[in-house]
């Protein structure tokens, strides 16, 4: 992969600032959080401060879609992201119990085994490109285990995720056509999976859960299950891939802090939260306002689309003193890396588990690593922030994950 800098499309207000830096965008986000009532040149209102954001997102007139366009090539509202109010609450009541820390903990050993199998592929080489060798595939493997699907179907998910998150095409219309085509393939695939699963005895995986769970006394129909799974593919794969890549890149460039976390494993949970704050892998979200409202002294007219910049709120000095310092001991780290308000991330417990286990296993087997001399980490911040080229070097080891466990 070329390490040449590219000019990415403008995707959020911070990108328009002179202080924008693709490798270290945090400075531009601090600047954005410092502006009073920021507005993009096209008139889009921007919410960037942590406290204003919390109040804005709680307002009942604030919606997650305009009711016409759905996210990521979907033909119907994604459940629960494209729904609001009572209907949204109904689906969250159903889904939340399937993603509690206790429920996702069942996957811990599988995640460990999957991580080690991927590390086995490169541990004896002394170098790796961590994005493709580990970060890109691990969450997809785990997702397939979570749903209870065959590993052979992995490429179907990788292809779909790429097509909807980074659609090919020269124009917006072409990109949307790519997303729609990938969406249609995913709808057809999921419908076939459900047909097969209904013909088999019930299983204790997520699809098994969807087939048996009841909302207000009703079972979910196939279209609802497909609309939930479609969202989970989009929401749960690239986000973990990108977060993991940012964390490995950060640890590769901060050996002292890495050694500190390895020496005191109890620090890792806090380190992950602090890096979620600082890196903010999902930088921005959008909301629509259904009636004239006032929030924190600011007017939001009915019909406006609002850019909610999680990454700016995460470095708002009013909420996070000294925001540019990564401090694992930061008290009250109420970051919005997993969003806030009614649509806060459903999969945050699973994401935290995946990040922790992947970092633990990697650091146990490869505690010393650095960015390969002469190479540079290449970041993208378009859609989701990621270290898309992450070449590392380390002392080669022949110990496999299995040998290590013994």
* Site residues, ligand HEM (CB under 6 A): 64, 80-81, 92, 231-232, 235-236, 239-240, 243, 281-282, 285, 310, 337-339, 343, 345-347, 350-351
Cβ atoms of 59 and 293 closer than 8 Å: yes
Q: How far is the CB of 346 from ligand HEM (least distance, A)?
A: 4
CB nearer to ligand HEM: pick between 53 and 377: 53
CB nearer to ligand HEM: pick between 24 and 344: 344
Cβ atoms of 114 and 138 closer than 8 Å: yes
CB nearer to ligand HEM: pick between 81 and 163: 81
Q: How far is the CB of 56 from ligand HEM (least distance, A)?
A: 12
Give the integer Cα–Cα distance in Å for 343 and 88: 9
DSSP class of residue 295? E
Query: Which residues lie below 8 Å from residue 43, measured CB to CB, with a gap of 6+?
Result: none
CB nearer to ligand HEM: pick between 176 and 348: 348
Q: How far is the CB of 138 from ligand HEM (least distance, A)?
A: 12
The distance in angstroms from the start CA to the end CA of the chain is 37
Nearest to 100 by CA among 358, 347, 357: 347
Nearest to 240 by CA among 165, 348, 313: 348
Number of H helices, E strands in the chain: 17, 13
Nearest to 141 by CA among 124, 125, 161, 127: 161
Residue with the CB atom nearest ligand HEM in the bound state: 347
Q: How far is the CB of 360 from ligand HEM (least distance, A)?
A: 16
Q: How far is the CB of 143 from ligand HEM (least distance, A)?
A: 7
Q: How far is the CB of 47 from ligand HEM (least distance, A)?
A: 12
CB nearer to ligand HEM: pick between 36 and 204: 204
- In our burial notation (b when 16+ CB lie closer than 10 A, e otherwise), range 76-112 reads ebbbbbbbbeeebebbbebbeebbeeeebeebeeebb
CB nearer to ligand HEM: pick between 14 and 123: 14
Q: How far is the CB of 153 from ligand HEM (least distance, A)?
A: 16
Give the integer Cα–Cα distance in Å for 282 and 280: 5
DSSP class of residue 9? P
Q: How far is the CB of 343 from ligand HEM (least distance, A)?
A: 4
* Alpha-carbon separation of residue 368 from 38, 351, 382, 393 (angstroms): 43, 25, 30, 9
CB nearer to ligand HEM: pick between 128 and 345: 345
CB nearer to ligand HEM: pick between 71 and 178: 71
Q: How far is the CB of 284 from ligand HEM (least distance, A)?
A: 8
Nearest to 26 by CA among 332, 387, 245, 279: 279
3-state secondary structure of 275: helix
Q: How far is the CB of 97 from ligand HEM (least distance, A)?
A: 14
CB nearer to ligand HEM: pick between 15 and 123: 15
CB nearer to ligand HEM: pick between 123 and 345: 345
3-state secondary structure 334-352: CCCCCCCCCCCCCCHHHHH
């Amino acid at each position: 992969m070329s390490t040449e800098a590219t000019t990415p499309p403008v995707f959020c207000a911070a990108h328009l600032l002179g202080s924008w830096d693709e490798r270290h965008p945090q400075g531009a986000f601090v600047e954005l959080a410092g502006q009073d009532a920021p507005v993009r040149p096209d008139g889009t209102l921007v919410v960037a401060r942590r406290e204003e954001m919390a109040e804005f997102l709680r307002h009942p007139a604030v919606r997650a879609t305009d009711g016409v366009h759905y996210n990521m090539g979907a033909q119907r509202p994604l459940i629960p992201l494209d729904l609001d109010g009572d209907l949204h609450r109904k689906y969250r009541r159903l889904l939340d119990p399937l993603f509690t820390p206790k429920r996702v903990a069942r996957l811990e050993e599988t995640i460990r085994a999957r991580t080690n199998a991927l590390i086995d592929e490169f541990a004896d080489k002394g170098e790796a490109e961590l994005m493709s060798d580990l970060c890109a595939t691990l969450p997809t493997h785990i997702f397939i285990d979570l749903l209870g699907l065959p590993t052979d179907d992995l490429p179907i998910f990788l292809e779909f995720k790429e097509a909807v998150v980074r659609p090919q095409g020269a124009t917006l219309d072409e990109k949307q056509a790519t997303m729609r085509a990938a969406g249609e393939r995913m709808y057809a695939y999921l419908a076939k999976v459900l047909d097969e699963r209904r013909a088999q005895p019930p299983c204790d995986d997520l699809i098994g859960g969807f087939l048996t769970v009841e909302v207000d006394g009703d079972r979910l129909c196939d279209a609802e299950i497909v609309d939930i799974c479609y969202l989970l593919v989009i929401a749960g794969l690239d986000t973990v891939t990108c977060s993991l890549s940012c964390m490995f890149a950060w640890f590769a460039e901060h050996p002292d802090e890495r050694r500190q976390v390895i020496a005191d494993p109890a620090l890792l949970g806090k380190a992950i939260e602090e890096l979620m704050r600082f890196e903010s892998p999902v930088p921005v979200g959008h909301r629509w306002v259904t009636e004239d409202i006032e929030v924190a002294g600011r007017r939001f007219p009915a019909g406006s689309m609002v850019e909610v910049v999680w990454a700016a709120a995460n470095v708002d000095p009013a909420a996070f003193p000294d925001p540019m310092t990564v401090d694992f001991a930061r008290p009250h780290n109420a970051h919005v890396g997993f969003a806030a308000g009614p649509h806060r991330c459903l999969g945050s417990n699973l994401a935290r588990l995946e990040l922790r286990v992947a970092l633990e296993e990697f650091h146990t087997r490869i505690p010393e690593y650095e960015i390969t001399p002469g190479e540079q980490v290449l970041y993208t911040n378009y859609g989701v922030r990621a270290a898309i080229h992450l070449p590392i070097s380390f002392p080669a080891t022949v110990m496999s994950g299995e040998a290590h466990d013994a």
